[in-house]
Chain A
């Protein structure tokens, strides 16, 4: 590339010409002590809570503790350049992040600066990091589904737009995978996504961004990454910043989905911050307001009323448990705040049930209100069937002679468990989910061996698409199993069952 010195000189000349001199008028203070991501500042008398303070070198600090003789300040950046006696300037601004459609497709840090090397974000709007959640009048009941693309979740613990559904489980059992699939499932819908990574490895975040990009999900997704190497204050504010970005869509009558991955790391970061600020520790050394920290964050995810545009912000917070201990402090807190939880279990994961959702312990407090009629029709008996199956399976493990009814129930249960399995990065649209669940619930699978379920599912979709695509179209449009659709589907499933058996060499 040819660089013309002449042109560059002209650009600089123009900019100098435009530059207006102004005298800086600042309220200032001095650093008393700095270290561990915290600085104490003397002066800055009129400083506001959550105000940004500017340290030398353009590093920003967040005023958290306003005390009689000093201001306790969390430093959003490297603390190493800050020393005692440094001048601190007030900015007069409460901490805010850029928001708007320009954020989509970008990877930003905890305070909205781009870290993906794609240049500056020219967002026209910015929003405060801490915003009060909408009040009672501004809200509306959750009534439309927000599909996660996972059959087990959408059928048994449905998530509605504006709901907060916790994803909880031990490390390495597919919590992130479930949520990333939920983001990918929003492709071709009007839902915008925000993925907040807190305290994760940079390599993990890079992989997730790569996966989202590969599946075409980055176009409508903002990734907010406060990684393990970022200072604790960044990890603490990142979920709030991400929520502000999601709220932009909610407040403009659009829909958004936000994933917090994960809130236990954010709680740890907040604990670190609080202890350094000498706030008194409570249970598990978490500060007294750790519950408020999570509740005010998650309350911001909501479905707003028609007068305000009927937008929604759906949240999928993730909590990592230690050895399945859901009665620890942070898990119980977040369970009580959210509108239900999806509980992932290591035993299921390692026995090959993936996503490893424990159907018994997972609930959605919004329930059927967030399901379309078709889903209710097929999923109504699913939970009960599975519960009975588990009970019988435990019982049947000891005996061999079983009556026909028990045998039938076991057969049905085994196949239902099998069709609820799903590979990663393959979220299914609603019409396909209900189709396969319909086949399972109506006995179309009972005569087939359990091992063939995976093949059956893959092939039945392509069969219906090529032979009677109107079934999917009708289901998508009418969202219920009418008699006409049932008739068409029954014929298709019968015909496919025959060819499937033939190709597999079954009787």
Chain B
């Protein structure tokens, strides 16, 4: 199970520091970048969390990463602290929670749009405008194409899902016919 509560504690601490120095984007990018490396290369995560390696070796690995990333002192300390506290494995969740807090601060929310065919820029802008109106926040959209929904779009912002796909409509049509039998 995800360690959400734990991740939130760390993210909150980092966020409090951010509020003082205003480096939201910088830290967010650093965490997301590291998260990306974590996801693509499992040996990195292993070298930071595996209890078979001695503690000082693991700390050295993180110090090396911090040095190569060229992040500032606070971020470096944060990452080193994670290894020291044996919480390096929670890093993906921390990145996620931190991103949520930064988004909250900037009044931004992330959304995704799934469509059957590639959306034109004009349509995409229209979807974005609709979602912004609905949530009252600036929406950053990511788009993807899934032919199995047949037509229409499925838009998702946070917990909210707008399903206007042909697949769903056909399914509910089927239910309504079946239900009356």
| A interface residues (Cβ-Cβ under 8 A, vs B) | 12, 15-16, 19, 21, 23-29, 32-33, 40, 42-46, 68-70, 87, 89
Contacts and interface: CB of A to CB of B under 8 A. Distances in A.
Given A32-B1, A69-B4, A15 B177 contact: yes
Contacts of A45: 158-159
Interface in B128-168: 156, 158-164, 168
Contacts of A24: 161-164, 168, 172
Nearest to B180: A15
B73 interface: no
B159 A27 contact: yes
Contacts of A25: 160-163
B170 to A, nearest CB: 10
A23 B164 contact: yes
Contacts of A87: 161
B161 A23 contact: no
B5 interface: yes
A365 B3 CA distance: 54
A28 B164 contact: no
Interface residues of B, number: 20
Chain A to chain B: the 3 pairs with minimum beta-carbon distance, closest first: A24-B163, A23-B164, A69-B4
11 contacts: A19-B176, A23-B162, A23-B163, A25-B160, A25-B161, A25-B163, A27-B159, A27-B161, A28-B160, A69-B8, A87-B161
B169 interface: yes
Given A24-B163, A26-B161, 4 more contacts: A25-B160, A28-B160, A44-B159, A70-B4
A19 B173 contact: yes
Contacts, number: 52
A277 B15 CA distance: 32
Contacts of B5: 68-69
A32 B1 CA distance: 7
Nearest to B175: A58
Contact of B169 (A15, A21, A44): A21
B109 to A, nearest CB: 13
Interface string B75-118: 00000000000000000000000000000000000000000000
A38 to B, nearest CB: 13
A158 to B, nearest CB: 47
B153 to A, nearest CB: 9
Contacts of A43: 159
Contacts of B1: 32-33, 40
A23 B158 CA distance: 18
A87 B114 CA distance: 15
Contacts of A16: 173, 177
Contacts of B160: 25-28
Contacts of B177: 12, 15-16
Nearest to B3: A69
A28 B155 CA distance: 12
B150 to A, nearest CB: 13
A240 B60 CA distance: 61
Nearest to A70: B4
A12 B173 CA distance: 10
A44 B159 CA distance: 6
A187 B98 CA distance: 67
Nearest to A58: B175
Contacts of B156: 28
B171 to A, nearest CB: 10
Contacts of A33: 1
Contacts of B172: 24
Contacts of B161: 24-28, 87, 89
A179 B159 CA distance: 49
Given A21-B169, A32-B1, A15 B176 contact: yes
Contacts of A69: 4-5, 8
A27 B162 CA distance: 9
A32 B93 CA distance: 14
B172 to A, nearest CB: 8
Contacts of B176: 15, 19
Contact of B4 (A28, A42, A89): A42
A26 B180 contact: no
B2 A32 contact: yes
A68 B2 CA distance: 13
A131 to B, nearest CB: 27
